[in-house]
Amino acid sequence: MRRKQMMIAMGAVTLSLILGTAPLVQTGLAAQGECAYEQESEKRGKSVEASTVDLSKKGSITIRKYDITSAEAAGDYKQGQDEADGEQNTKAEQALSDYGMEGVQFSCLRVGNVETHMVHSDATSLVELVYEIPGRLAEILGLKAEDAIDMTTSDEAYPCQNQDVYHYTSQQISDAMEQILEEDNVSAKNELEHYLYDYGTLSDTTDQSSVAGVINLPKTDSHGETHAENLPLGLYLFVEAEVPEQVVDTVDPWFVQLPFTNLEAGNTWLYDMVCYPKNQTGNPTLDKSVRRYADSVLPRNGEKVSTADFLTAGNDFSYADTVTASEGDVLDYILVSKLPHITSAATYLSEYTFTDTLAAGLRYNRDAKIAFYDNGKDANSNNTENAISVWELDSGDYSQEYAYVTVQDPDTGMQTPDGSTRMNIRLTELGLNVLNGGKNREEGLSDYYMVVSYTATVRSDASVIIGDEGNQNNVSLIWSRTSDGYYNMLEDRNYVYTYGVDLTKTFSDDKGNFKKVEFTLQNKADDYYVIAEKSEKDGKYYVTGKTAKEVEATAFVPQNDSGRLQIEGLEADQYLLTETATDRGYNLLREPVEIDITATDRDVIASVCGVTGMNQEAVEQIVKNYNGGIYDENGNLVTDQLDELTGTAAGKPASETANGRTIGKTDLYVGAIQKASAKVDQVDASMTDSNGAVILTVTNTKKFLLPQTGGRGLYLVTIIGVAAVAGGCSLMSRKKDLSMK
């Protein structure tokens, strides 16, 4: 009867596989001593227990890690459809083969022995398996000392004398784990992860460390598989310690008993366990936009438009992928990124870095700031009055503690090969801690919107590109979590367009003096006059500003040797070119010349991350269902991207084969150029190469000669008058003769 009781008790002890996650620091060590029952078994030789469990054997565990978010989106799997029993499940492996995740590290710790609790009484004998739980782990699990089984009494057949351990049944341990995970899943994960793992510096994924006795399994391979063998028999705690960049929620920590009984028959001890933990995944977004800064424009009626948040400033001040601007204008840039979901410490961000590049024709004004928002509307308008938090560049806390901001540009002597300005914003450990939430996840910024904003001035020189090529501004975002070497990147781009006038001045007799000619240029739409400076190098005028007063307008003078007048750095708009002076003896233009420039445009759509297993067969379903759909910045599913200017299909997710990493990325899309055009006095006009400048010729004609008082002109008039009278008389005489005949 005793043998039967023992077999039943041991066959029922397989702990439910409570799947979970975690990274952090362990404060308790596993009990290392052998229990008294095992010592007694060795003394007795081939006992009942030894014949059931081979104590000379070692155990092993194989973990196959899958992206359940992607698999469910594709319709290939449903969470919970298979029961976790520790045995190999070939059906699940086949269904999930495309969704294996590379780069995940699991850690385990042997927390204690599996022991036999046996006490005798007059009525019966109680035999059951119990498990050693170190004191600190019992505290984390909420297991109370008074509920522990006392293995030191004189009635105990196999007493245990190990220090700082308690003994509980599998049901007690499973119930406790389930309860703390239900009450506060993330906090529970963090406690258990920290029990095994120290994440070190958040901004460095190479300085993590484990507590004594912890086994770090190799990171999962391209099939999502990792393995550990030669494990001493006992009770193990497993956590998901490090994850690649796309993991947003790790599996719950779980206990493993080695060996364990097979589930169906319950009659065999198994030493090799297979687990199928699954992750929830997701990615951040990126969208770069630009607009003319409100205070840099002198709009209608000669007054500046300025509002507190720019939301009511009109179309001139709405953010877009492209903008037309004048040289000297200040541009307002925003980099909007929706932060990824962050849960326990294993999913903490270890890097969040923006690299922003401005074309050589733009000067960074060194005024970057970072704001955080809880909604997309305020983020996309950068309405800082409603920001949750704002980090200013001129704040010591910001520049020294929360983010490193470095700038390479010609103004500092740190030249880039193409003369561009490169700004790098990298969050420090403290900055990352704000995003992650540290020990208090309620203070973290998971799923918030992060907005980097700054201004740049359009330079007033030849570095500015005029016409359809535009002045290109790129940004990239790199982020990673806790798994060293695993990161991803998103990209976006803006264009700034500016134009010019290429005027040739001529005189009807080719004798006029070009230095005597002057023009003014007025923006008809916004009612301002153009201010510019002439370059000594190339003789061109480069726009430097605007004025509402005509007396402050620049007087544009053609080059003396050729009569050519080149003005560069004009926003696309309607202008009035007025000739205000010319050489003596020539006529001014009767009225201003109207010049109308229509800006270049093109659609730009930021890149969008793919997901694990998004191969050609699954892409449509995954894009439609993954976390509610994978959309681009215009609100279109990435499989249905549309060029909003041409109405044609835009980008598509890349066609790739599942390889354990994120695949199916939709690359940055840059649409076809919608070329600039111009009209002069409402008639289509020619433009220079790349539609950079409007071509026109202005010719002054000679004035008519007028008589001088008392001079030769008077005699000429008199002679002409006498001749006219004589001719008249002759004409009249002839008519009279004809009538008489």
Helix count (H) and strand count (E) of the chain? 13, 43
Average pLDDT score over residue span 314-328:
83
Higher pLDDT, 641 or 152: 641
d(CA 222, CA 23): 22
Question: Looking at the predicted structure, is the pLDDT value of residue 329 above 90?
Answer: yes
Backbone angles phi, psi at 334, to 5 degrees: -135, 140
The answer, yes or no, to whether residue 526 has pLDDT greater than 50, is: yes
Cα 626 to Cα 607: distance, rounded to the nearest angstrom: 17
pLDDT at 32: 31
Q: Considering the chain, what percentage of its residues have pLDDT values greater than 90?
A: 67
The percentage of residues in the chain with a pLDDT greater than 70, rounded to a whole number, is 80
- CA–CA distance, 437 with 440 (Å, rounded to integer): 5
Determine the Cα angle at 604 with ends 634 and 676, to 5°.
125
Please give the mean pLDDT across all residues of the chain: 84
List alpha helices for 390-491, DSSP H. 396, 429-436
The amino acid sitting at 284 is P
- The pLDDT score that the predictor gives to residue 326 is 96
Residues 6+ apart with CB under 8 A from 374: 388, 448, 449
pLDDT of residue 393: 66
pLDDT surpasses 60 at 30: no
**What is the spatial distance between Cα 419 and Cα 361, in angstroms, rounded to a whole number?**
9
Encode pLDDT of 495-509 as tens digits.
999 999 999 999 999
**379-432: per-residue pLDDT in tens?**
999 999 999 999 986 544 455 688 988 888 776 667 778 888 999 999 999 899
DSSP bridge partners of 36: none
Range from 136-150, 192-206, 387-401, 694-708 carrying the lowest mean pLDDT: 387-401
pLDDT score for 456 = 94
Q: For residue 128, what pLDDT is reported?
A: 87
Residue 12 CA neighbour count, 13 Å, CB half: 14
Q: Which of 2.60.40.740, 3.30.565.10, 1.10.10.10, 1.10.260.40 would CATH assign to domain 287-496?
A: 2.60.40.740
Give yes or no for residue 713 having a pLDDT over 70: no
Structure tokens at 716: 């000429």
Task: Name the CATH topology of 2-65+100-281.
Answer: Immunoglobulin-like (2.60.40)
Residues 641-686: tens digit of each pLDDT: 999 999 999 999 999 999 999 999 999 999 999 999 999 999 999 9
Provide CB contacts within 8 A for 384, sequence distance 6+.
309, 371, 390
Strands ordered across the beta sheet of 564-570? 683-684, 677-680, 593-598, 574-581, 518-523, 528-534, 541-547, 564-570, 499-507, 693-700
Query: Taking the CB of residue 610, how many other CB atoms lie within 10 A of it?
Result: 27
pLDDT of residue 624: 96
What is the fold, at CATH topology level, of the domain defined by 499-600+676-700?
Answer: Immunoglobulin-like (2.60.40)
Residue 574 pLDDT: 97
pLDDT range class, residue 156, cuts 50, 70, 90:
confident
What does the pLDDT read at residue 264? 72
pLDDT tens per residue, range 423-476: 999 999 989 999 998 765 567 899 999 999 999 999 999 999 999 999 999 999
Position 28 confidence tier, pLDDT thresholds 50, 70, 90: very low
| φ/ψ (deg, to 5) at 411 | -70, -20
Both tokens of 510, joined, read 């080719």
- 104 or 727, greater pLDDT: 104
CATH topology of 2-65+100-281 equal to that of 287-496?
A: yes
String of b and e for 420-457 (b: at least 16 CB within 10 Å)? bbbbebbbbeebbbbbbbeeebeebbbebbbbbbbbbb
Average pLDDT over residues 308-335: 77
Q: Which residue has the higher pLDDT, 445 or 84?
A: 445
What is residue 668's DSSP assignment? -
| pLDDT tens digits along 344-379 | 999 999 999 999 999 999 999 988 999 999 999 999
pLDDT at 416: 77
Instruction: Tell me what the mean pLDDT of segment 606-617 comes to.
Output: 94
Q: Render pLDDT for 261-315 as a digit per residue (tens, 0 to 9).
A: 887 766 788 999 999 999 999 999 999 999 988 655 444 334 444 444 333 344 4
Residue boundaries of the structural domains of the chain: 2-65+100-281, 287-496, 499-600+676-700, 706-734
pLDDT tens per residue across span 539-574: 999 999 999 999 999 999 999 999 999 999 999 999
- In 3D space, the residue among 61, 85, 115, 93 whose CA is nearest the CA of residue 271 turns out to be 61
pLDDT on residue 50:
33
pLDDT confidence tier of residue 125, bands split at 50, 70 and 90: confident
pLDDT digits (tens, 9 = 90+) for 206-236: 666 667 789 999 999 999 999 999 999 999 9
Question: Does residue 604 have a pLDDT over 90?
Answer: yes
Angle at alpha carbon of residue 487, lines to 623 and 403, rounded to 5°:
115
Q: Which of 252-266, 317-331, 619-633, 647-661 has the lowest mean pLDDT?
A: 252-266
